[in-house]
Chain A
């Protein structure tokens, strides 16, 4: 694997601190790429405040009908698995936001009355902040799937170290994101909710064959169900970040803790070293690589 490492930070649940951890890890590295894959609610920019150096529109092919060629046979309407087409009289109605851009209707039309045109789906923004490359994707409101945006973001990566701020949950956006990672950092809260969601995230990364480790976040005194889960399942605990009012306040105001507080600068620097070391160790011992 050499010196390259793509680390996906995920949690299976929102609000555990994925973004806080991702932005601070990226900021403390010499020159990393930070990618915000939470296309529904992208928040990384709030902390990093990058200078945007470029943006482009991500498009998807959508069918367009030539009514002169269409004879109302309804083959396309019946074939579309997503109900994105309707035929009223002789008019073919096409519903772009429901369409999955699979291309079947265009292929199957016996009269060649359908063709595909590129339609805007969302934006990819590229920015810089000090030594960091910032990439963020945003889906247009009303669109159905951000997967093409995530694919576009992944094609952009350039530096050796890439930190991906994953979307929450365990759906197709997460699997698309995780598919591109070498290593997954699972962020977990010290509650039974946190442990339950850690289990789900762990199942997902295991299903996808990705090595992972846990960061216990917002830790307090008392039993930590997430810590117990990790120990019971042989999941390496790579660090523990105690709940700290000061950190919470800094982050809620959109500040990068590593820039405002020496203690956190050191903490995240050490955490990053531990993670990259673990990532390399995992890839070196993986016979598939």
Chain B
């Protein structure tokens, strides 16, 4: 299975807008929302016939047995994460607990043990022969590289070798992004034409290159700052990174998204630009990556 991952570095540049358009244009049978911190893709993909859910268990957390606790304070003394609330009995603050087990080891009456709490749901949505993999996290739980890997693995289980999967990535450069890059054939970066946008773009490109993943760039809302947009093009040219096109700021895009439609389901300047970019992406995949 070949994978195209849509990334950005900076948040809010239009990853989901682009990813959803690509899914419609490519008629992809397999796609995933790897932004498990703030999953948005489902909001424009319509409804599905089947909805499989399974528990996702995260980092184990400490649990104090209230019947055994003798209020000796030893756990509080050793915890470095402010995860213990003194009281009668002492309690763990789950949001803060890192699962290190130090408290478990020092408790003189063995009142503390580790439990893998459910931190979210892994979901597999199906319709016709399409498969959509995503996850939702319970509030306060952090996104992890492992969860993103599980979201991607769900696709592998059901799709075939010859298909192209589209992955809607997450912002930033941390573990979830690194995990989403694993095994990807092309990382398409959606850049914002601003100082912070260019700076974040460079960092995420560096991450992709470290993992030897081929990269390409597009600029969204380019006409909000044409000079910065041109700077990004020049940067790509100098670095030998394929620049696949630019999308103008499109008021109609907001209206379309709010009706739960992808950009290519309407006619607008933005829609036209994305179609061109999609063609360019296909061309690049054929030439450079032999798909």
Contact = CB atoms under 8 A, between A and B. Distances in A.
Interface of A: 12-16, 19, 40-41, 43, 46, 79, 81-82, 100-104, 107-108, 144, 168-172, 175, 189-193, 196-197, 200, 203-204, 207, 220, 222-223, 225, 245, 248-249, 251-254
B97 to A, nearest CB: 10
Contact of A204 (B13, B140, B251, B254): B140
A251 B194 CA distance: 8
B43 A196 contact: yes
B266 interface: no
B45 to A, nearest CB: 12
A192 B251 contact: no
A81 B258 contact: no
Contacts of A102: 80-81, 98, 100, 102
Contact of B195 (A169, A196, A223, A254): A254
Contacts of B12: 13-16, 189
Interface string B57-78: 0001000000000000000001
List the 10 closest pairs (A to B, CB-CB), nearest first.
Answer: A15-B12, A14-B11, A252-B194, A171-B142, A102-B100, A252-B225, A43-B196, A15-B11, A104-B102, A169-B37
B101 interface: yes
Given A41-B196, A251-B194, 8 more contacts: A41-B10, A41-B199, A81-B100, A100-B98, A102-B98, A171-B37, A225-B258, A252-B225
B140 A192 contact: no
Nearest to A151: B82
28 contacts: A14-B10, A14-B171, A16-B11, A41-B9, A41-B10, A43-B199, A81-B98, A100-B98, A102-B80, A102-B81, A102-B100, A104-B100, A104-B105, A168-B172, A170-B139, A172-B95, A175-B95, A190-B254, A191-B258, A192-B257, A193-B43, A197-B40, A222-B254, A223-B258, A249-B225, A252-B192, A252-B197, A254-B195
A249 B221 CA distance: 11
Contact of A253 (B38, B40, B225): B225
B262 interface: no
Contact of A193 (B40, B171, B172, B224): B40
